[in-house]
Amino acid sequence: MQLTIYTKPAGCFQCSKTKDLFAAQGVPFLEVDITTNAAALEYVTAELGYAQAPVVLFTNGSTVTHWSGLDPNRITDTITLYGAKRQ
């Protein structure tokens, strides 16, 4: 299982809140700053089709789930999956 959060750190409330929700539940993630990583920005915009940060990419085996923005329901679902895999 791997969780990557593509963020805009400066002044992005949705980015901060998304990271905080995962961190509060002990879910590890890799943060990628799309304001300093041109390849990451190209990936989330051109390949995934998003124009809003954060972009969350969750890989669970062969299943890849991704979304853009602060989405509490998807965050909760991902935290639940992470917890189930750890037990």
Q: Tell me whether strands 30-33 and 2-7 are parallel, antiparallel or unpaired.
A: parallel
- pLDDT band, very low/low/confident/very high, at 85 (cuts 50, 70, 90): low
The order of strands in the sheet holding 55-60 is 30-33, 2-7, 55-60, 63-68
For tokens 């062969």, the residue is 62
Residue at 29: amino acid letter: F
pLDDT tens sequence across 30-51? 999 999 999 999 999 999 999 9
Q: Looking at the predicted structure, is the pLDDT value of residue 56 above 90?
A: yes
Placement of tokens 């051109």 in the chain: 46
pTM tops 0.85: yes
